[in-house]
Amino acid sequence: MKFFVDTANLEEIREANDMGVLDGVTTNPSLVKKEGNIDFHEHVFTICDIVDGDVSAEVTATEFDGMMDEARTLAQIADNVVVKIPLIKEGIKALKACSEEGIRTNCTLCFSPTQALIAAKAGANYISPFIGRIDDISSNGMELIEEICQIYDNYGFETEVLAASIRHPTHVKRAALAGADVATMPFDTMMKLLNHPLTDRGLERFLDDWEDYEASRKAEAGMAK
C-alpha cells in the first residue's frame, strides 16, 4: 500500500518524507486555505520538489472548459502532478479528455461504487472514496472501499483505489486489508500508526535494564581497583 499525506503544510510534508515511507501528497482547496496567503501554483511546485511521488492538486472550476484550462496549467507545474477532478458530469468529461491528453487524474469526492465505476471507465488514474464522510452519515465507509476494489478486480480496471477522508489508524488497517492501493491521511494520523503502549513499555524496560547493567559494570570495575 502507498502512503500519501493529506496536507498542504510544507513542514508536515518534509517530516513525513524524511521518514522514508511517503509515496505522495494529496491537497484540496480547504487544505490550501489553511496555509494562508500563498501562491497556489508556487506552493504545488514546492511540494513536488520535496516529494518524488504523485502530488494531487485540485481544480476549482465546475464546468468542462474551465476544468481543462486548470488541468493543463497544473500538469505543467511538474511531472508528478496529478490533477484532482470532482466526480460530477462535467468532471467525467474532463477525466476522459485528460486521459486522451496524457494528463494524470485523481477523481475526488466519490461516495458510491457506481460513481467509482464510471470514473474508471472515463480513464481516472486514481479514485478517491471518502471513508470518514461516509461514516459521518451512519453508513459504512469501509464497505465502499471493499466494493470498489471488487468491481475493479472483476473487470481489470487500472484505476488505483485511494482511500481518502481517513480519520484514524483503524481506517488505514481496514483499507489495507480491503486491498486499497493508497491511503491518504492527515500527518497526525500517519504518526499514530507508530503508536502502541507495549512498544513504549518495552522500550522503557529495555532502557531501565541497560541503565542497571551499566551501573553494575561500573560498580564491579570500582571494586576491582
Q: Which residues are known to be catalytic?
A: 84
- Is residue 48 within 8 A of residue 80, CB to CB? The reply is yes
**Helix, strand, coil shares, percent, the chain, to 5:** 55, 15, 25
Burial tier of 33 (Cβ tally within 10 Å: 0-12, 13-18, 19+): exposed
For residue 45, how many other CB atoms are within 10 A of its CB?
A: 15
- Is residue 175 within 8 A of residue 2, CB to CB? The reply is no
Gap between the Cα atoms of 49 and 15, Å rounded: 14
Gap between the Cα atoms of 7 and 32, Å rounded: 8
Q: What type of residue is 106?
A: N
For residue 191, how many other CB atoms are within 10 A of its CB?
A: 15
**C-alpha cell of residue 158:** 487500472
Among all chains, which residue has been given the C-alpha cell 493508497?
Answer: 182
